[in-house]
Structure formats: structure tokens, C-alpha cells
Chain A
Amino acid sequence: MVHKRFFCSKIFPNAADHHFRLRHHQNKWLIKQVTKSNFSEALGEIRTHVSNSDFIAVSLQQTGAYSAPWQRVLPIDTAETAYLKAKRAAERFQVLQFAVCPFSVKASKLIAHPYNFHLFPRDELKIAMPSYSFSCQLSYLTTMAREGFDFNACIYDGISYLSRAQELAAADRIGHSSPISYGVPSSSANSVADSVFTERTKSRVRHWVNACKDSNKKTEDALISTLRKLVSGSELYGSRPCLIINVCSERQVQLVLEMLKEFVDVVPIVVPARGGEVQAIRVVLTSSEEDKNLLEKELQDMEEEHNKRVRGFREVIDLISTSQKPVVAHNSLNDFTFIYSKFLAPLPSTMDEFRSSLLLVFPHILDVDHLMKAIGPFEKVNNLPASISYLRRKFFAPIDMEVSHRAEADNVQIHGRNVLRISELFAKLCSVLKINPETFEDDYSRLSYALQCHANTLNPSLTSSEDPIDEDVRIWNKNSRRISIDNLVLLWGLEIGISAAKLKALLHGSHEVFSKEFDVQMVDKNCAVIVFWTPGFSDRFLKIMDSGEIFCESLKDMISEGSAAASYKTYRSVCKLGLWEADLADALDKALEKSKRLTEAKSEEDLSVIDWNNDKMINLDDL
């Protein structure tokens, strides 16, 4: 396995350079890289670190985020459409690296334990799970390559996983024996048949136990003992004698387990059949209390081993979830849709459902982006290094970092370093916002105001419904103000590659509705969004487009060349219906066609405000 890296380090001086530069000022930042070969060991370590730390930072490296430029989360997206876009990405792409960093902040000192897990959805159990296929966005792979990512290590040696839902669905195919804790029989009223069955098995077990204990005392003829075993159905489980009791219903399983409680030195093991049902119960006889404990411990280890094999990396997710510690992320909507869909269950169809079921698993999610907004809503800092340097420039918040793994001279690993940046940024932000992260853990109800605002609001560049901000108030800088989505109109079928300025010039003064203030932004190569700052003008414009009453040549030309317009509702239904065409124009056309067919015209009165921010629009030159 060692040799595989050889190739990439030999031919990519850039990557090596990069390593070198990082080593220079981050020589103490060592992130432990975990693959299949050292997973068990790392799992043990991280378990301790999670329980000893106050927070857990996570950061994901995916194979992609969107299949077409308009499919990324845009400023024109509401919470709902942003979720639908994130959902689409999570279902389509794959997580190849998952960095986890349990950390604590003690008096301006950050104690971090960063791990970077390499994942690959290998079908380890031959059950066509966890993933049949996945997509790769070329630019993401290129970026990973630039960072010197070792694709061989990932695909050869990445850790696989099963989501909770997948594990349930495959339970019958995975099949293993374990001391499943069956509850007490629900109906205590035993029928006659039940009691006959119970009595019969009880006497059988008793005879067998006695026989076993007898045979220990006196030596027996080999033939006789073999015969005895045949008759009693006795076998050996490891070095211990055991008895198989066949059952034919769940009810009988419960009865047997209940009955076996009377015997102090036996341990029951349930043997599943194909199809997830129980086929038999294996009763193992132990020689003493001590021996019984030993066996139970053995079984527990087996169970854990089995779980590790089946769940793979999900053990780490379960670990984080059961710890109930606050999880700190950056770009949390994206990361948590991925986590949910890969490790929990298929994503629900609405944002609200997603939010509520996610919070059951991770009750405290903190997004550093949101915290950033609390201190500097005017600055557009959207990536981690920029945020950190912004804080460094504007505030005095020295944070000492202590990383548990020490770097060996030549072995500096940069993969997954974002998780350390998140931890650092969080610590700095806490210090700037005067939040004491040490007492944070003690009482969530006494959270400081700033955190309360920002905990559990799944970010992206959008604001969720409960934000108490009025429409049409200029609260942010000149480019960013809130606007009701009623005032947005999508215009498509434009000349390919037209610039927003050109389009605006074309529209300006072409009609009364364009005489007042309006804005134009490109969403796609031939689709634009028009913002009417005067309420009601959007409807008027749509009516004009519909009626064909044209006042101006330029508009007429556009329409005759195939331009069309629709309200924001159409855009929303594009996302809802999952019309993920490469061109937004095609998707909008399809959505219009559909809505014409569907007679149901339920007008939805939900969250209809977005943040209008020119800066965040796609710059088509970047694509």
C-alpha cells in the first residue's frame, strides 16, 4: 500500500510545495489520517476524545456539489429551495473524506484531536449497499488533486459504511447471532399451548444441564457420550457445551428467553434465519459466574466487531450523536444533508421534516458562518481562511492551539485541515462574542444570546423563516437588502452569454415597469432574474409578457426570439419537482408545462423573503 503514494509524490512538485509551505507555519497541525487498516485503533482513540471534549468539529470533502451552475445554492433561494438543492447534491455525490475533531477551549487554549477519515462506499457485505453509483464533479476532483489527495488510498483502502436505514433494511441479509435483548412477553396471559411448550423445553434444558454437569464428574464411554449428545441435541459452543432449541415463532422466542432466566449459568444466543426471523436459540452452559461473565463479554465483543464491520464509519457518527455534544460545522446545510443521507436515512422531502429529524440525532449544531454574521454582517467572508484572517485583522483574540498528534518530521498531512480551522475559528468567535465555551456545556438553557440566535439554524446564505427582519428595510450594505420573492421575475430564453448590464440596458425604459428602480442578475447562461423594487410591478410585467401587449421593440424582439418569463413560484416548483436540467431555462419550461397540466393551483403562503445580495451572484466568468 505504501508504494501507491510514490507515483503522485513523484510527479507533482506542486503538491510537495504545498506541503512544504504548510509545514512551515503549521508544523504542529497534524491530522491523523484514518483508513480501513487503522480504523479500529482510531475508533477507540476518538471515543475517548469525544467523551473528554466539549465540542466536535466536522468537515466533509465531497466529490461534487452541483451538476449545473444554477443548481448551487444562490442568493435567490429560500430556505426551502436551498434545502432541495442540497438534498439533490447529497443524494448524487459522495463523501470521500470526513474530518472529525473533538475539541475543548480552556482559557484561550484550544485542545484539538483532529482525525481525517477516508471513506469509500465499498460493498463490503455484498448486499449492493451503501451506494450503487455516485457522481463526480470534475472541478472538485481537480481541486482534490491539487491538494495532493491520494485517490488510490481512498478507493483501495477507504472505510465503508451503512446508514441506519440501510442497516435495518439489510438486517436479514447481514444476519448474525447475538444476545438480543428481547422484552418481556407483551401478553402475560399464556395459552395452554404456550405453557406446554415452556414446560417441555424447561425440562429438556434441565435434563441437559444435569447431564452436562454429571458427565463432567464421571468419565464416560465415548460412544455413549456421542449418543447422548445426539439424543439431547447437545453441541459445543467454543469449549462450552450448548443446546439448540428450535423455535417457530417470535412468541416462542420470548417464552424460551423468559424461561431461561430460571437457569443461572446459561447464556442464550439467538440464531437468526434468512429473512431476519429467529430460527433457533442456542443455550450455552457456563461453568461458573465468572465464566458466564467472560462469555457475555466475548459475545459483546463479537457484537461490536460485527457492528464495526457492518456500520463501518457510521460508528463515528453514532458516537458523535450519542455523546450529544454540540457539533460545529461550516456550511452546515451542505454537510448535514450529506451526513443525513449517507449515515442516517434517505432525506425527507421538506426542510422542516429534515430539520426536526436531524435535531433528534444532533441536538446542537453550531455553524461558524452564522456566528460570523453575528459580528460582521457587512463583510462577505465565505471561506474559512478568509474568515480567520478577517478575525485576525479586526479583533484581538489570540488562541493557542494544541493538537494531540505530534507531527513526525516528514509526515505532515494536510487533508482534513479545515476541521482545525473550524475549531480555531469557533474558539476565536467565542472569545470575540464573549461566550464562555467552558460553561457552555453545563447548561444549554443559559446560552448566551448570540449563540441562541445561531444555534440550530441551518445556514446557507439564506435566512430562515423565523428571522425577525422586515421586508424592504435596508439593513445591510448597499448591495444587500431583503426583498419579497413576489417581486422577483425569472426571464429566460435570452441570447446566450448576454451580460446582466447589457440586459438591463436593453430593458431600461422599454416599459413603464422598467422606469423605476430594478435590478437584473444572471442565474444561468441564458436565464436572468429581475428584481422590481416597486411592489406590484412584477405582476404587471408578467401580465405584459402574457398578453403580448408590447410597447417597445426591444421587448418584442426578445419575445419573438423565444424569451419567456415566470414568477418565482415556477422556480420553486422546478426545485420541488426535481427538474434538474442542465439549463435552468429548460427546467422552467418544463415546470410551466407541468403547472399548466395540473389544475391544482394551491397558492402557498410560506416563507417568501430572501436576501438580495448582488455580490453572491454567480460570476459567469468564473465558471
Chain B
Amino acid sequence: MKKYFLVRAMTEAQARNRNQLFPFNRSLCSSSNSSDLALKNVTKSNFEPALAELRIHVREADFVSFDLEMTGVTSAPWRESFEFDRADVQYLKVKDSAEKFVVVQFGVCPFRWDSKNRSFIAHPHNFYVFPRQEIPGDGPSYEFSCQTTSLDFLAKYRFDFNACIYEGISYLSRSQEEEALRRLNSVCNDESSESLSSSKSVADTQLVRMADILFAERMVNKIGEWRAGLLRDTNEGSEFQGSSNDTVQKLQTTFFKMRPALVLNALTSRQLRLIELVIKKHFEDLVYVHATGEISCPQPLVVYTDSTTDRDLLMREIKHCHKKEAVTKIKAAVGFRHVIDLLSTERKLIVGHNCFLDIAHIYDKFVGPLPLTVEEYVSEVQKHFPYIVDTKVMLNSDSSFLHLVKKGSTSLSKAFTLLCPQIASPSVSSIVLADNPHIKVEVQVGDKRFSNWNSGAKHEAGYDAFMTGCVFAQACTRLGIDFNLHAPPVDLVHNEKLQKYINHLYLSWINGDVIDLRTGKCATDSLGSTNLKNRYPKILFSNIVILWDLPSKLKAREIKECMSKVFGSDSVTSVFHLDETAAFVQFSRQEFVSCFLELKDTLEQKYDPISVLHPLSKILEGGRTRAASYELYKEICSSPISEVLFSNQAEAVGIEWRTRLLEPVVEVEKQEDKASTFSQDQDRKETSPINNAAGTLSCCHFPTDELVDSFYPVQAQLSK
């Protein structure tokens, strides 16, 4: 999903051919007629057996790769990933995305090393997931967002939305399950304190109509008769059965929980309510039991009890049954989360490609609400998934691989074609990477095993998971891990050569920020993953002001010119348009930030000819322009609202002032400290005010012109 606009190199011609042959290979029903392309699709109907099977495969697996398809990635253009995102802001953006969108497809692919055949055996699974409301109360979600381009993208790859919405497997997160159980308990306790009756409405029912009174009377007689017969029965033998079977066909005797009971058939709900009423009124030792549609007691019954203690016992039993059923229902609603729990309890190595957002989705959907800060989040993630590997990080630190792609993208399918040509296109004998032995991967779908399996269904989560696993296996051999040397199971988790990759994920690909899940610390990818990175000057967040509600069509260059007139020609390091209504301006010195904000405030307060002639007036034209320090951007990113334009967002968040001056320096320092916990690397430490006071002017000579118009780098940042 993060690789939308990418042209996939994956032997296009071949893929096209296949698509012509099997134009609907994505729909479930047609998978049977193209068995060699089959992907194990799992929906509501075959979830139970598939889960049982998956349990075995995961238990045996050496690692498990996964991939997700979502309904969207960013809820507003300004929430896309930018170079001007500090680590905490990046996390807030990921959090927002995971909270707003839902997962529609979940690919899981366990890989097991088969030492006999010297190959991996993969079991790709493609789960359709949909947050259906299976139990009363709060379901997995009340509503969710869809990004139009994402749906369109999925449609382009023939995603089967009907399968997802009609047949997708539902789920409950751990916290939702706990909440549901807690509510159930409180309801049960409530009932016990209030009354023994199963229905509260009885008290409200009154005998108003003549017919009701007659019916009630008749029932008192009938039931009384039955009861009397029952009592006699124990002494003298069955009399009731014979005498009243013809007269009261609606009443049959049966046994309920070892007690004699009367079955009430073919009665209206009103009649049942009346019966309940008269039983309460007239018979101490009879109990009315009814719970619609449940296994323990499918029909309404009148049960005879020996004594009050027996009656209480019965009621307790019934309640216990109800509760057990409700619990079973909640457990069943857990649904797809069983797969996540499986991965978590087995503590296997989890492999994804650029999977920080994917993990956030998993956490939000299947564990609980995402924590507010990235540190809390990573420590929580580690509890559930102790070993995660990001293949994108692995590939980007492999210099010979990077040389191979020639600074091109390290997207999944590209890596797959390059690293695993024998799988991607078995017919094409590959010359690349001849020095490296290719890992053999066999695929098992159901009972069938394929040595060249290629479902060709790109962006199908199951297939993407498979590709990720293959890329990972190949990347391992490139690191010098020889699977043949290990007796299965291969202990990848503790493999020395893999240690520096485990739990290192790209927090944001565009910044090359790699986060260590064990510590929550961020480091910029040492190998300079992106060439984009080099184009930009170092970003010093404390030197940044954010401007919005700007006069329309004000260009970045013009902003820079205005600022330069006031603060000197070298004062502006860069200007970056967040969207058409907002821009970041990075100054060369930190004090310019407060200077600018104060100046703006003064100019706006006294609106006299001088302020009109002031160089800044071009920026302030119209009198709506607002400004604040970088912290405001974080504040706005943390809001659950998502307006399309940044200025509308700021308004919706409730910003009423025009300029927010910086707080006293002490405060600033505190914030700096907080911020720098994210960025332990030395580069960012320079942002502390002390260093700045010393005058590090080294960062102002960067060429700014080329960034000036760098609007919306959508494509770059969406690439996986």
C-alpha cells in the first residue's frame, strides 16, 4: 500500500500476459481454474480450518513474513511524510494513519527451512479482513476512513471489495475484548442484584384487557394442574400426561437441568409475558426460564423446583450458562486476532518490508489504542513482537545491492525481481548476482507444492508477504548466513550476523530515520538511504517557523526574499511548502525565530503606514497570516481532526491567535531536552541553544532555490 505510484519492474511483459490469460485471478471463485496461480485466500467461511493449519505452519516456521493492504495511508495531504518531520511528528503521523484507516487484507507467509531439499517451504496465506460488528456494544470500529487514491489503487490491481466487505474476517483487539468481558460481568452482577427474573419488563405488564385476564386465569389453572399432577406423579404415577395432552397441546412436559419442566410452545410474546407474570405471582416453586435463540434453553419453559434453595441454584445455573454463551460469542468475535496472537505467542521472527506503519496497524487493530509517544509505543510493541526485521533496512545497508539498483528505488517488487529472479521469472535465466547462490523456495498451497510459484497478483497481501520472505531469505545469504550449516530449526533470532537488523525499522523512509525498537531511539540511516536526503540542508527544528493562512499564491521564493530583507541575505536556509496554505521557514539562527514572531506581532498590533511599508507586509498582506514555532506543527498533528488544507485544520483545532510568541528560554530548553531524546545523534544536538549562541553558521550556505518549489513529494514518500 505504500508503494502505490511505483512502476514495478517485475517483468512487466510477463505479468501482462498473465493478466490477459487470467484477467480475474483476484476473485476467489476463479482461483480454482488456475491452480498453479492459486493463493490461499481465507475468508469468514474457511477461517477456522485455515487457522488450525496456520498454527502448525507458524510453529514450525523459521520466520514469518507479512504484509497489509489498507484503505488509506494519509488522511490529509499535509499529513504525508515530509523531510521536515521530527521523529515525534513522524510517529504522530503514523499513529493518525493507523487510527483512521482499516486493514482490508492481511498476508501471512510462514517460511520453514527444509534441510533435506535445501530449500525453504513457504505457506502464503491471504486473509480478507473487515471490522464487522459481531457483538453488541462497541465493535472494532464505528467508522473508518478511505483514501480515494488508495481504493483506486486497489481497484487497479483488482482487489475484491465484495469479498472483503461480505466475507472478510472480523476481529476484536485485546482491549476491546477485555472491555466486552468487563461489561458482560457488570451486566451479570447487576442482574443478580436486581431480580431473579430474566426479563425486566414483567413488572410493567399489567392485565388491562379482558382477554389478558381470562388467559392469565386459564394459565394459572393449567399450570396449577400440571404442578399438582407433577407432585402426585412422584407418588402415584403419570396422570397429567394422559389427561391434558389433548386439552393443552401447547404444554408439554420435559426436563430441564434435571428438573421437570413445561415447554411453552406456539405462544405470542405477550402471552409469554403474562405467563411469566402469573408464575411469579402464584407459584413459588415454579420458575419461568426463557432466553431466545440460545443453546442452553431454546424454548420458553416453566421449571419446577423443590425449594427456594433449589430455585436459586437453578437461577444461578442459568445465569452461568448465559454468561458462558456470551463469553463464547465474544471469544468468537476475536476472529482474525487469533492469527496475531499466534504470531505473538510463538515469538517468531517477523519479517516485513518498510513495516513501521504495518506494525502500528497491527497494534491499533489487535492490541489496543496506540500510546501517545513513540517510546511507550515501541516498548509495548516489543512485549508482543520481540523480533521484527525490516527488509528495506537490510537492503539499504547492502552496498552491493544498492549499487545494483543504481540509486533506484528499493521497492519490494524490484528487490524481489533482482534478488530472486529464479522465483520472479523462472524462465529468464538471470545473470545478475551470479556470485550469490540463489535460495530455493518451494510454495505449498493446500496439498500442492510448487517449485516455481508465482501468483502474479501484485499488491495482494499474501503475495507481497511471500515476496518479502523470499527477499529476506536471499538477503540473509548475502549476509553470509548459510542455512545448510544449521540444523533445523534455523535460529535466526540469535544469529550474530542478523543482530544489527533485528528490531531496526524505518520510522520514515523519506528521512532515512531508523528507529531501534528496543530503545526507542532514532538514528539516521548511516548509508544515506536516499539521494533525496543529500539535496536538503540539515534540518534544525528549533530554527523553524511555520506560517499559514498565507496570502494566496505567495511563492516560496517571495517568502524567502521578504525574510532576507529583514534578517539579512543569509538568514533563510530553506522554505518548504507544506501545502498551498502553509509553509515552513527555516532560519539560519535560532534567535531569528523569536525575532520574527515578535516582529510580526508588533507589526500587526499597530497597523500604521510603517507596517504597511515594512518588507514583511507582503507576507502579512490580508492580515490573516499566522505564525508559530515548530512545536505547533506537532500539536496540530496530534489532533484527531483531518481537514484537507492545513489552514482549515488549524482553524478546526481551534487556533484563534495570529502569532504565538515563544515561551521564555527556560521553557524552550526543556522542550529541547524532550525532543533530543529522540535524536541522540550528534547532528541534532547542535540545535541546543548553547551551540547556536556560539554561532554555527555553517548551515546557511545551502542552495535553497531547488527546494523552493518542491511541492508535495508524494511519489517519493509513498514508495515502500
Contact = CB atoms under 8 A, between A and B. Distances in A.
Contacts of A94: 146
B142 A155 contact: no
A578 B75 CA distance: 18
A7 B145 contact: no
A213 interface: no
A251 interface: no
Interface string B115-135: 000000000000000011100
A134 interface: yes
B76 A151 contact: no
A121 interface: yes
A11 interface: yes
B718 interface: no
Given A138-B132, A138-B142, A8 B162 contact: yes
A53 interface: no
Nearest to A134: B146
Query: B72, B141, B162 — which one has the most chain A CB atoms within 10 A of its CB?
Result: B162
A141 interface: yes
Contacts of A12: 166
B195 interface: no
Given A7-B27, A11-B166, A133 B145 contact: yes
B29 A135 contact: no
Interface core residue of A3, A64, A133 (most chain B CB under 10 Å): A133
Interface string A397-440: 00000000000000000000000000000000000000000000
Given A11-B167, A150-B162, A132 B148 contact: yes
Interface in B40-85: 45, 72, 75-77
Interface in A141-156: 141-142, 145, 150-152, 154-156
Given A128-B77, A138-B132, A152-B162, A7 B29 contact: yes
Contact of B166 (A128, A132, A137, A145): A145
B129 to A, nearest CB: 13
A578 B639 CA distance: 14
Nearest to B154: A155
A3 B144 contact: no
B644 interface: yes
B166 A68 contact: no
Contacts of A582: 142
Nearest to B73: A133
B149 interface: yes
A359 interface: no
A123 interface: yes
Contact of B143 (A67, A128, A133, A578): A67
Contact of A138 (B144, B146, B160): B144
Contacts of B142: 67-68, 137-138, 582
Nearest to B151: A155
Given A122-B152, A142-B132, A594-B654, A7 B141 contact: no
Given A128-B77, A132-B148, A134-B148, A7 B165 contact: no
Contacts of B132: 138, 142
Interface string B632-656: 0000000000101000000010100
A152 B146 contact: no
Nearest to B76: A132
B162 to A, nearest CB: 4
B141 A138 contact: yes
B147 A133 contact: yes
B146 A133 contact: yes
Interface in A4-56: 4, 6-8, 10-12
A78 to B, nearest CB: 23
B139 A132 contact: no
A10 B143 CA distance: 27
A444 to B, nearest CB: 39
Interface string A232-262: 0000000000000000000000000000000
B28 interface: yes
Contacts of A7: 27-29, 160, 162-163, 166
B206 interface: no
A11 B654 CA distance: 48
A507 interface: no
Contacts of A594: 654
A155 B143 contact: no
Contacts of A139: 133
Contact of B148 (A6, A122, A137, A577): A122
Given A4-B160, A7-B160, A132-B76, A145 B165 contact: yes
A-B CB proximity, top 10 nearest: A151-B161, A8-B162, A133-B147, A3-B24, A137-B143, A155-B155, A156-B155, A132-B644, A152-B161, A135-B143
Interface of A: 3-4, 6-8, 10-12, 64, 67-68, 94, 120-123, 128, 131-139, 141-142, 145, 150-152, 154-156, 577-578, 582, 594
11 contacts: A3-B23, A4-B27, A6-B29, A6-B30, A12-B166, A67-B143, A94-B146, A138-B133, A145-B165, A151-B161, A578-B652
Interface of B: 23-24, 27-30, 45, 72, 75-77, 131-133, 139, 141-149, 151-152, 154-155, 160-167, 642, 644, 652, 654
Given A123-B152, A136-B145, A138-B141, 19 more contacts: A3-B24, A3-B27, A4-B24, A4-B27, A4-B160, A6-B27, A11-B167, A64-B143, A67-B143, A120-B148, A128-B77, A131-B148, A132-B147, A132-B148, A132-B644, A133-B148, A135-B143, A135-B144, A152-B161
